[in-house]
Amino acid sequence: MALAETLPTEPAPAAKPQGYWSGVGARLIRDPLTLFCSAVILGLILAAIFAPWIGLADPYKGSMIARLKPLGTEGHILGTDEQGRDMLARLIYGGRLTLFIGLMPVVFAFFIGSALGIVAGYVGGLTNTIIMRTVDVFFAFPSVLLAIAISGALGAGIVNSLVSLTIVFVPPITRVAEAVTSGVRALDYIDAARATGADAFTVIRVHVIGNVLSPIFVYATSLTSVCMILAAGLSFLGIGVRPPEPEWGLMLNTLRSAIYVNPWLSALPGVMIFITSLCLNLLSDGLRSAMNVRD
Amino acid sequence: MSAIDHAPDTAGTAPEGPLLVVQDLQKHFPVRGGLLGRTQAKVQAVDGVSFEVSKGETLGIVGESGCGKSTTAKLLIGLTEKDKGDIVFDGQSLGPDLSLKDLRKSVQMVFQDSYATLNPRLTILDSVAFGAKVLGLEDPAGLASKMMDRVGLDPDRFAHRYPHELSGGQRQRVNIARALAMSPRLVVLDEAVSALDKSVEAQVLNLLNDLRAEFGLTYIFISHDLNVVRYISDRILVMYLGEVVEVAPVDSIWAAQAHPYTRSLFSAMPSMDPDNRTKVPPLTGDPPNPINPPSGCRFHTRCRFASEVCKARAPKLAGLSENAAHLVACHLHDPASGHPDAGQGLPS
Amino acid sequence: MLTYLIRRLILVLPVAFGVSVICFLLVQIAPGDPLTAIMPVDATAEEQDAMRAAYGLDKPLPVQYAIWIGNLVQGDMGKSIASGRPVAGEVFGAVQNSLVLALSAAVIAFPIGIFLGFLAGYFRDTWIDRVVTAISIAGVSVPNYWLGIVLVIIFSVNLGWLPSMGAGPGGSSEWEWNWLHIRHLILPAVTLAVVPIGIVARTVRALAGDILTMDFVQALYAKGMSRADVLRHVARNAAATALSVMGLQLGYLLGGSILIETVFNWPGSGFLLSNAIFQRDLPLLQGTILVLALFFVAMNLIVDVAQAAIDPRIQRT
């Protein structure tokens, strides 16, 4: 208290305490493109979740006489597929599996990869060598090849797709997490925290995670678009979701037979994949700049 | 303040002994390279450093950058693992008698970069309270705000701010509060005021002096700024290339530097007095590479008085004949060293 | 440089070993018996055992791996379960066709990507920059198998200019560089080029933009150097990084063309792979993946060494 009167010689601090996240929020609000893309993604997710209650036709019910009706047909605003099922309903229902298989592997990989990378980066030494050299081996496979190899070996199915895509995305996230963590590990505030006698787990929990998670998170969001395209691609190849489930990649595959009859109809599921993947990429870019993360 | 149990430093187990004894401390960092990434050389950052710190005193450590000051500091609290040597704190040897965890309860550190030492995602209060939480003390937040108050930061105004919202001086007060919240007996201040403006530096130095008296603290104060070290220290230790070259009470060393290196260091200090101009030529060139330090006395490559014996044999740290409390490692002061000018002291 | 080369070669060995282990394990994670695809339904237990022994499937895993890798280094990748022909022959024939496709896509993608990236980086924050950025984001976001279908709809179905399937007369084995064949190459190569165009443009834009704002470039301008000369300096500085990105992309083009080859029925490694998957032909699956992955590893090695040759600073890290 004796020194309190000497304080005015130092610059007056900002009027209102500002945390990191309120700053991120303020920057996001001022970024219309990112907001728009979040709205599109959110809309697709909500439509997929609430599909049964928004007055759509039955996505599984076909009709032999109403096959491959063009866009704008009465009662089928986006036409019908090769079995006469309503395209609008199938596209919206298709978002359920496509978004699920397209996003969840990145979520799983985010947790697994962050854990591995943070441990490798903080502990260092032999632990680091074992984890990172294993990761290097997976980097020897182009991601498409690895996903198809594992899915191909495991066989078609939703769970198998989730497993193979998670395996594909764990190594890159681990590598980023390790790099960011060893950077933070070298900073003085980690030394200061260790100097209190805190154990490694406490230092990681209080001081490391908060500072490495946002770059890892931003990196993970940049993978969602690739994951979407790959997930739909697996179904397109016939090693993902099985018929008759509506799924964009699978629909794109089954509608290929129709390109001479009703070409633009057959391209519709791909439009959905493209829009989603584009919005995910733009959203990730927006988050990157709002969160001040550099590559 | 009464709620905080800061016992003055007379409660130690060995009241008469020194608080800290460092014996032959050594740290060599490996340099890897080549085909298989094997160790090819070693940076001899700290090589055979020994000293003592008494209870309640402030030992200043000075030297050029890269002389091993900061490494010594990190070795003292185990942030860097020592290769060999003993650290005896209050009669208990680190390792056999005293665990690193227990040592860290008694020895705290304040670093140079006040911003880098604060976690940017934690509020000031959380940063200060972290140590108390680790120790499992009651009401860490209450203790933290008391400490903030004590270092001159109003808890109501600062507790919930983030480091980037504070000035450098305020942040360094936070770092001091954080160290004090652990109720340490020894605080290692590594260039703690070097990055501050001169006016703020003076405030923080005064604060440190007040706190030392109030809590009965002992300081090791590392700096490259001799004037600051003189102001706060009782004794000064001079390091060169990982070794101790001179240790002496502040008045003694200020009056007469015994080691040629120390003298060059002091003569390089700007003086306000026109009649007291630099007479000794200042040091030229960079310090030699610590990967491959010179033989014998490590200073001989830059020393005006070097002779054959300086290249051949390393001098031992010993008390001056006229003042046993003034220790120096130089052949000039040892009549038996074989140096042509031995025993006559440092020529002017 | 030689030390760097040797060190880099030594580092490849454990990766190649890891790759072979993963390829070997692919067969192990596959559900069911690898023989079910070819065994008659009414085979007796003795017949099954005999078949299993013939394929070496009755031995413990490490022994199976050792035998597999032993055969592998002699160029024997086993026999395709479906066709009975040696895997090595089938894979290398298909990889040749994939290479034709990947290289053609690279020839289209890299110059366009570099050009667009330079434009955007040089005219940063102008409308040119924004257009190029939009193109590159669209390029990396587009599901290229869908883009292939769209191009088929436009150029084959509606306009009738180009064929939509296969590699031309003679099928998979008789590729020639004449118009009859090249017509078949255009659509898949263009489709495959879209993603690398986006990635290369993005990389070059960032590189050019960063370098142009660096102190030494300001100094070049201050010296009175012309814009063209400054650009040449910038290009040389960006070359090493741009090269590594393009090298990786070439690897991705080869390993990632599976979906495009399926869309266009291009008789390459991806086409082979999808056949192997649907016939549950695990030796063929394993062999194809191994060859593609090792090719990717080799590509990375070449890129690293080339990069170090251009920029000596890299050798030290």
Q: pLDDT digits over B91-117, tens only?
A: 888 878 888 888 888 888 888 887 888
Using CB atoms within 10 A of its CB, is residue C75 exposed (0-12), middle (13-18) or buried (19+)?
A: exposed
Q: pLDDT digits over A23-72, tens only?
A: 788 888 888 888 898 899 998 898 888 878 876 777 777 676 766 677 76
Using CB atoms within 10 A of its CB, is residue B276 exposed (0-12), middle (13-18) or buried (19+)?
A: exposed
Q: What is the DSSP letter of B165?
A: G
Instruction: Supply the pLDDT for residue C86.
Output: 81
Query: Mean pLDDT across the stretch B73-78?
Result: 86
Write out the two tokens for A169.
Answer: 């995305």
Contacts of B118 in chain A (CB under 8 A): 189, 192
Write out the two tokens for B48.
Answer: 């055979």
Cross-chain Cβ contact B130/A13 below 8 Å: no
Contacts of A280 in chain C (CB under 8 A): 141
Q: From residue A30, how far is each of A18, A222, C129 by CA, in Å?
A: 17, 21, 21
More confident residue, C314 or B89: B89
What CA–CA distance (Å, rounded) separates C44 from C42? 6
Contacts of C7 in chain B (CB under 8 A): 35
What CA–CA distance (Å, rounded) separates B256 from A100? 78
Cross-chain Cβ contact C145/A144 below 8 Å: no
SS3 content of chain C, % helix, strand, coil (to 5): 75, 0, 25
Rounded to the nearest integer, the mean pLDDT of chain C is 79
Domain limits, chain C: 87-310
Residue window 93-152, chain C: list those with CB within 8 Å of chain A: 137-138, 140-143, 145-147, 149-150, 152
Contacts of B161 in chain A (CB under 8 A): 13-14, 17
Coil/strand/helix, residue A44: helix
What CA–CA distance (Å, rounded) separates B326 from C253? 74
* β-bridge mates for residue B328, sequence order: B246, B318
Number of residues that this document lists for chain B: 348
In a domain, A156, yes or no: yes
What CA–CA distance (Å, rounded) separates B52 from C155? 86
Cβ–Cβ contact A236 with C under 8 A:
yes
Contacts of C276 in chain A (CB under 8 A): 152
Angle CA A162–A165–A168, to nearest 5: 150
* Shortest alpha-carbon distance between residue C28 and chain A (Å): 9
Q: What are phi and psi of B263, to 5 degrees?
A: -65, -45
Contact A173, A216 (CB under 8 A): yes
Contact A285, C202 (CB under 8 A): no
Instruction: Kindly give the pairing relationship between strand B235-240 and strand B58-62.
Output: parallel
Q: What is the DSSP letter of B84?
A: E
Per-residue pLDDT band at C216 (split at 50, 70, 90)? low
Instruction: Supply the pLDDT for residue A6.
Output: 40
Number of domains composing chain A: 1
In a domain, A74, yes or no: no
Instruction: Supply the pLDDT for residue B13.
Output: 47
Q: pLDDT digits over C270-287, tens only?
A: 888 888 888 888 888 888
Query: B18-240 in CATH: which number?
Result: 3.40.50.300
Q: Could you give the ipTM of this predicted complex?
A: 0.82
Best residue in A223, A237, A268 for a mutation probing chain C (most C CBs within 10 Å): A237
Residue window 134-153, chain B: list those with CB within 8 Å of chain A: 134-135, 149-153
Q: Which amino acid is at A97?
A: L
Cβ–Cβ contact A284 with C under 8 A:
no
* β-bridge mates for residue B39, sequence order: B32
CATH number at residue A184: 1.10.3720.10
Best residue in B31, B35, B36, B38 for a mutation probing chain C (most C CBs within 10 Å): B35
Choose the closest CB to A197 out of B105, B175, B210: B105
Choose the closest CB to B119 out of A1, A6, A189: A189
For residue B240, give the nearest of B50, B45, B85, B58 by alpha carbon.
Answer: B45
Nearest CA in chain A to C133: A282
Coil/strand/helix, residue B89: strand
Nearest CA in chain B to C3: B35
Write out the two tokens for C276.
Answer: 């192997």
Contacts of B34 in chain C (CB under 8 A): 3
Write out the two tokens for B88.
Answer: 């005896």
What CA–CA distance (Å, rounded) separates C73 from C13? 14
Q: Which amino acid is at B211?
A: L
More confident residue, C95 or C234: C95
Rounded to the nearest integer, the mean pLDDT of chain A is 82
Which residue is listed with tokens 């031309």? C168
Cross-chain Cβ contact C152/A259 below 8 Å: yes
Nearest CA in chain B to A15: B165
Query: Would you tell me how many other CB atoms lie within 10 Å of the CB of residue C34?
Result: 18
Nearest CA in chain B to C317: B33
Domain extent for A265: 95-291
Contacts of C141 in chain A (CB under 8 A): 225, 274, 277-278, 280-281
Instruction: Supply the pLDDT for residue C171.
Output: 57
What CA–CA distance (Å, rounded) separates B124 from B109? 17
Cross-chain Cβ contact C18/A148 below 8 Å: no
Coil/strand/helix, residue A9: helix
Among the listed ranges B165-174, B333-342, C182-191, which one has the minimum average pLDDT value? B333-342
Instruction: Supply the pLDDT for residue B11.
Output: 45
What CA–CA distance (Å, rounded) separates B170 from B196? 10
Cross-chain Cβ contact C300/A140 below 8 Å: yes
Contact B158, B170 (CB under 8 A): yes
Instruction: Supply the pLDDT for residue A1.
Output: 38
Contact A249, A256 (CB under 8 A): no
Q: pLDDT digits over B13-36, tens only?
A: 445 678 889 888 888 888 766 555
Query: C87-310 in CATH: which number?
Result: 1.10.3720.10
Contact A248, A240 (CB under 8 A): no
Residue window 151-210, chain A: list those with CB within 8 Å of chain B: 187-189, 191-198, 202, 206-207, 210
- Alpha helical stretches, state H, chain A: 20-29, 32-49, 87-123, 125-138, 143-154, 158-185, 188-194, 200-203, 209-237, 248-254, 263-290
Instruction: Supply the pLDDT for residue C175.
Output: 62
Write out the two tokens for A33.
Answer: 């493109």
Nearest CA in chain C to B35: C7
Instruction: Supply the pLDDT for residue A181.
Output: 92
What CA–CA distance (Å, rounded) separates B19 from B8? 13
Instruction: Supply the pLDDT for residue B264.
Output: 85
Instruction: Supply the pLDDT for residue C67.
Output: 83
Q: pLDDT digits over C129-179, tens only?
A: 888 888 888 888 889 888 888 888 888 777 777 777 766 665 555 666 666
In a domain, A85, yes or no: no
Per-residue pLDDT band at C314 (split at 50, 70, 90)? low
Establish, for the pair of chains A and B, how many residue pairs have beta carbons separated by less than 8 Å: 103
Cβ–Cβ contact A125 with B under 8 A:
no
* β-bridge mates for residue B239, sequence order: B244
**Letter string b/e over residues B31-58, b meaning 16 or more CB atoms within 10 A of that residue's CB:** eeeeeeeeeeebbbbbbbbbbbbbbbbb
Choose the closest CB to B121 out of A2, A6, A210: A210
Contact B44, B28 (CB under 8 A): yes
Residue window 154-173, chain A: list those with CB within 8 Å of chain C: 154-155
Please list, in sequence order, all residues whose beta carbon lies within 8 angstroms of the beta carbon of residue C218, skipping any fewer than 6 positions away: none
Q: pLDDT digits over A119-129, tens only?
A: 999 988 889 88
Contact A86, A57 (CB under 8 A): yes
Cβ–Cβ contact B198 with A under 8 A:
no
What CA–CA distance (Å, rounded) separates B232 from B234? 7
Q: The pTM is what?
A: 0.81
Cross-chain Cβ contact A188/B111 below 8 Å: yes
Using CB atoms within 10 A of its CB, is residue A254 exposed (0-12), middle (13-18) or buried (19+)?
A: middle
Cβ–Cβ contact B38 with C under 8 A:
no
pLDDT above 70: residue A280: yes
Contact A140, C19 (CB under 8 A): yes
Nearest CA in chain B to C2: B35
For residue A116, give the nearest of A193, A174, A189 by alpha carbon.
Answer: A174
What CA–CA distance (Å, rounded) separates A168 from B291? 44
Q: pLDDT digits over B180-234, tens only?
A: 888 889 999 988 888 788 888 888 888 888 888 888 899 999 988 888 888 899 9
Query: Would you tell me how many other CB atoms lie within 10 Å of the CB of residue B326?
Result: 22
In a domain, A27, yes or no: no
Percent of chain A with pLDDT over 70: 86
Q: From residue C146, how far is each of A8, A151, A155, C138, C262 by CA, in Å?
A: 65, 20, 23, 13, 11
Instruction: Supply the pLDDT for residue B31.
Output: 75
Instruction: Supply the pLDDT for residue A66.
Output: 67
Residue window 251-290, chain C: list those with CB within 8 Å of chain A: 251-252, 254-256, 258-259, 262, 273-274, 276-278, 282, 285, 289
Nearest CA in chain C to B36: C7
Among the listed ranges B292-296, C14-18, C101-105, which one has the minimum average pLDDT value? B292-296
Cross-chain Cβ contact C26/A150 below 8 Å: yes
Where, residue-wise, is CATH 3.40.50.300 in chain B?
18-240
Instruction: Supply the pLDDT for residue A293.
Output: 61
Q: pLDDT digits over B246-255, tens only?
A: 999 988 888 8
Instruction: Supply the pLDDT for residue A109.
Output: 95
* Shortest alpha-carbon distance between residue B193 and chain A (Å): 15
In a domain, A30, yes or no: no
Query: Mean pLDDT across the stretch C51-65?
Result: 76
pLDDT above 90: residue C264: no
More confident residue, A236 or C41: A236
Contacts of A239 in chain C (CB under 8 A): 277
